[in-house]
């Protein structure tokens, strides 16, 4: 958790990512969004796989726990 904010990783083309962002906005949860462009295969880079080894997007990092949708 950086700066006390939820870290959200996703692609704007994903309805799941948009749902997470809408829920955060509705619940007034502060978050940092990191766009992962799946069309450019950014979800299979070594950098992203350190965050989520499966390479799936919609990753939320809440500090002590990581949830993946």
pLDDT in tens, the chain (69 residues): 456 788 888 898 888 889 989 999 999 988 899 899 889 998 889 988 888 888 877 655 655 444 444
Contact in structure between 44 and 55 (CB atoms under 8 Å): yes
Nearest CA to 4 out of 62, 58, 50, 67 is that of 62
Query: Can you spell out the DSSP letters for the chain?
Result: -BTTBEEEEE-TT-HHHHHHHHHHHHTT--EEEEE--GGGTGGGSHHHHHH-TT--S-EEE-SS-EEE-
Distance of CA 56 to the CA centre of its chain: 10
What is the pTM (predicted TM-score) of this model?
Answer: 0.70
Return the pLDDT at 68. 46
């Amino acid at each position: 958790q950086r700066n006390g904010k939820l870290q959200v990783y996703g692609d704007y083309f994903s309805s799941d990512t948009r749902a997470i962002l809408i829920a955060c906005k509705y619940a007034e949860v502060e978050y940092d969004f990191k766009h992962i462009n799946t069309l450019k295969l950014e979800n299979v880079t070594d950098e992203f796989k350190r965050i989520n080894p499966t390479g799936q997007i919609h990753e939320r990092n809440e500090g002590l726990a990581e949830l993946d949708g």
